[in-house]
Each structure stands twice: as structure tokens, then as C-alpha cells.
Amino acid sequence: MSAQPLLEVRDLSKRFASREGRDSSLWVIQGLSFSVRDGEFLTIVGPSGSGKTTLLNMIAQIDTASGGQVLFKSESAPINDPKSLNPGLSCRIGYVTQEDNLLPWRTTLQNVLFPLTVQGRLNDETRARAAELIRHVGLAGFENHYPHELSGGMRKRASLIRTLVYDPPVILMDEPFGALDAQTRAVLQEDLLRLWEMGRKTIVFVTHDIGEAIALGDRTLVLSRAPAKVAGEHEIDIPRPRDIRGIMTHPNFGTLYQRIRAQVQ
Amino acid sequence: MTIHDSTLELAEPSKVKWRQYAVTAGRIALVVLLLIVWKIGADRAGPIYVADPWLVAQRIVADTLSGVLLHHIYETLRVATIGFAIGCFFGVALPFVLRRLPRLTAAIEPYIMASVGVPKYALVPLFILWFGIDDAPKLWLVGLLVFYPVFIAVFAGIRDVDRRLVNMARVVGASESRISREVIWNSLVSFFIASLKIALPRAVSATIIGEFLVGDAGLGFLIEYSRQNFDSTGVFAGIVVATALVLAINAVLVQFDKRVNAWRPTERDMQI
């Protein structure tokens, strides 16, 4: 592992312009700093409204910061300059958003293939990979269904593999399993860990579920209420491969949970 | 898939069929009723004011066989199509250009919206003065009348596009032109089709009005020429053919709408 972090956020701040009839503009994030190592699985927890999505939007460059720095491989993201943004940093950062954002006029398969299509990388090999991912997350037989014909969980899975299919080295995830039932959730968490261990991607995973943050992450960052900054940082000293369903019985889980819980408010 | 269809049919197959028959029968009954009212009106008002429907039908058949009618239909369709294509092109293209130029949009939007209010038919004498008596003044009129509804609908459609879908497409590496074609276009296509439901009949109407005033061919010319010769049968024949033409165009549009919106859930859920 190199000494230079892959992704670095320094003294980041963000505020949204005020609107008429509202108080002066609101700082969502102020003085936020952390870094992510290459190949690391970082989980971020924080209360709702703590600017977690805004943070990911700025890392993915679909929004600009108001101050501070966002560095990816020492390249600096534009600050306060929406026109110079490079969303997805030329397909090097994938982003699984909170909403599935599937294109409603495309079928499941067409949605999953969308990134490959627009990148001009559609061939037999990538098609086979897409088919394998579809089978893997239990969407086989639903390839020709439109998003509105799928359940919420299926849409979530389709949106997850839409990002996995083009294999970006870094993936940001914004509560991707938030709206799922416990069973599906555990299956997808296991899948995600297996895929991560195979490809050793760098993942930044935002969640409000402390248990999930511990079960998945190498390290967990706790954000404070807005204006968000880092309220705590915890190395998750639970060896891999982990047993997601039995993680709660691990001796370290209880103390980690208590410590993180105390900081999330 | 046909999950909805099959559940609907399984529910009450005979009832569904019966309802469809009832709708068709009702439609036919309305046409018959209209013809009867027309016939009574013709007998009461006299042939100068209201032509006899039977004579009108005979005239349409005779003019079709002689080829005269086809010539006029062709002329009307030709001008309406070219004018429609021009108006439609600018109506779609301009909002896409303005999307990239927010400041220009802010500057000219009030002028565009104000120009909607100018009664376009009132400009026809000017068009004749400026562009002569060939196709040009008719094309200007049709083009303008088509442009506005299409422009306003597409402009509104672009504003309505889900930003999150656009951001998603950008993150996965879609180019701006790809985003325009895929995300923006598919998001606004129902706005566009709704505007066509206004613009297409308008294109035919505007062409006919143009033909009242200039030229020596087309359904508008046929109607006006018949009127000048006190040939009410000819006037009514022209009106019937023009109406049939608009209905035929609408039928094509409905098919187009169905194909484009095949993925939408409402199509099936609203079936009778």
C-alpha cells in the first residue's frame, strides 16, 4: 500500500446559496478532512442531514465545494467552479446513488449496459460480464422488464451492478441498501464484500446503520451534525473474511458499536 | 410483460369484451346521428347553404376517380409537410441550444413568450408582400404555427428533466450529445408528442387558409374556388376530405405515441 492516499479531502466546506425568505446560507460541511487509502473499504456514518450525500457528490464531481480541497491521485477537483467539473473523473469513480436512478425507458439489461454503451465498450466479453452480474444478484429472468415493473430491491440491485459492470477503481455508495429487507440486505452485503475482496476496489460507503458500517468497513468515519466534520474515526479490527450474519457475535463488535454510537448524534 | 393484461382479462373476460363492443357501437351511432342531422339540415336550409351529404359523397368519389382530388390533397400535404418540418425542427432544436446557454435564455425568454401572442394569421398579408405568392408565404405561416407549440412543450420538457438522471449519465461517462439524445430526449418525448397533437392539425389548417389566399392548388383552393362558383357541394366535399386528412394524420400520431411510450405503465393500467 502506498504512503500517498488515493483520495484526500482537506478542510472541505460547502454551503448552499440562500433563497429568498430563508435565513442566510447554510453551511452543510465545514472543516472536514480525511483520506482514503488505495484498496480500502471506508464506511461513513452520520445522522441524517449531516451532508453525507453532499460529500459524495463533491467527491464524484457532480457538485463543487465552497472551500478546501478534494484530491484524487493528487489531482485537485475544481472549487466553486461548477463548469470545470469532470463528473465521475473520466469513469475512474463510480457512484451508486441513494435513489436507483435507472432510466425508466430502458429495460433492466439495457440499464445495466448503459455505461458500457456510452463508453463504447460494449462487446462479447463485457456483455458476458453483465449477464453474469445479473444472474449473480438474482435478476435473471427480469432482463427485459422495465424499472417500474421491478420491486424496489430489484431496482437497487440493478443500479448497483450498473456501476460494477464497468469496473471503476473507486466506488462511492450512498446508503445503497437502505430501503431493503434484512434478508436481501445481508445477501447484497455479502456479495459486495466478495466482489471487493476479488477486485480490491476502493469503496467509500455511506450509511446511517452503525452495524452495517462495522460489518463492511476497514475503517469507519463518524460525521457530526451539520456543519459536518469528522467526529470520530475507528479502525474495524475484525479479521476478514467476515461472516456478515454472525458479525454481531464477534467480541470486538459490541465495543465498536458502543463507541461509534456515542459519537453519532 | 403482460402481467397486467392477463390479470385484467382473467378478471372478467366477457365484461371487458362487451365494453369494447359498446364503445365501438357508440362511435358508429354518433357518426350515423351526425349524418342524419346533416341531411335534415341540408333539406331545411337548401343546397346553397348546406350541401346534401349524398351529393357530397358522390362528388368525392367522382373527383377521386378523375384524379383532381388527389392532386389537391398532394399539394396541401406537400406544403403542410414542409412547413411542419421547418417549424418542428426549430421548435425542437432551439430549446436544446438554449439549454447550453442559460444567460441567453434568460435574456430572450420574455421576447419569445411575448411573440407567442402575435396572431400569426394576421401576418399573412405581410408574408405575401415579402415572399410573393408561391409556397413561401404559406410555409412561413405553417412553420410559425407549428413552431410555437413544439418550442414551448420541448422547452418545458427540458426544464422538467430529472437532474439526477443527467448526473448519473455524466458519472458513467456519457458525452453531452449522448445525454441530449438519450436522457433529455426520452424524458421530454411525451411533451413533444402532446405538442404534435396540436401542431399537426394546425399545420393542415394553416395550409388550407394559406391556399384560400394564394395559389391555384390544394384543398383550400378547392374549397374557396367552389365557394366562388356557388358550388356548395364542392365546399363541403373539400371540408370532408380535409377533416379526413387530419384524422388520418392523428391516427398515425397515435401509433407513434404508442410505440414511443410502450414502456410506460399507464398504457396498460388505463386499458378498458
pLDDT per position as a tens digit, A101-155 = 999 999 999 999 999 999 999 999 999 999 999 998 889 999 999 999 998 889 9
Record: contact B164-A101, CB cut-off 8 A: yes
Confidence of residue B1 (pLDDT cuts 50, 70, 90): very low
Predicted local confidence at residue A3, as pLDDT:
60
Q: Does A87 touch chain B (CB under 8 A)?
A: yes
CATH topology of domain B71-263: MetI-like fold (1.10.3720)
Measure A246 CA to nearest chain B CA, in Å: 35
Cell 460529500 -> residue: A55
Those residues of chain A that have pLDDT short of 50 are: 1
Checking if the pLDDT of B47 tops 50, the result is: yes
Predicted local confidence at residue B3, as pLDDT:
45
Number of CB pairs, chain A paired with chain B, less than 8 A apart = 60
Q: Does A223 touch chain B (CB under 8 A)?
A: no
Predicted local confidence at residue B8, as pLDDT:
47
Task: Identify which of A2, A3, A178, A176 has the alpha carbon closest to the alpha carbon of residue A97.
Answer: A176
Pairing relation of β-strands A230-235 and A219-223?
A: antiparallel
Q: Does A82 touch chain B (CB under 8 A)?
A: no
Q: Does A88 touch chain B (CB under 8 A)?
A: yes
Residue of B2, B166, B172 for testing the chain A interface, max A β-carbons within 10 Å: B172
DSSP state of A141: T
Checking if the pLDDT of B268 tops 60, the result is: no
Q: Does A2 touch chain B (CB under 8 A)?
A: no
C-alpha torsion A93→A94→A96→A97, nearest 10: 50
pLDDT tens digits for range B221-253: 999 999 999 999 999 999 999 999 999 999 999
Predicted local confidence at residue A22, as pLDDT:
63
Record: contact B171-A87, CB cut-off 8 A: yes
Measure B179 CA to nearest chain A CA, in Å: 9
Predicted local confidence at residue B264, as pLDDT:
83
* Residue ranges of A 139-198 with Cβ closer than 8 A to chain B: 144-146, 148-149, 162-163, 166
Give the closest of A62, A105, A144 to B170, CB-based: A62
Confidence of residue B126 (pLDDT cuts 50, 70, 90): very high
Q: Does B193 touch chain A (CB under 8 A)?
A: no
Predicted local confidence at residue A24, as pLDDT:
65
Confidence of residue B2 (pLDDT cuts 50, 70, 90): very low
DSSP state of B271: -
Q: Does B182 touch chain A (CB under 8 A)?
A: yes
List b or e across A217-242, with b for residues whose CB sees 16 or more CB atoms inside 10 angstroms: bbbbbbbbebbbbbbeebebebeeeb
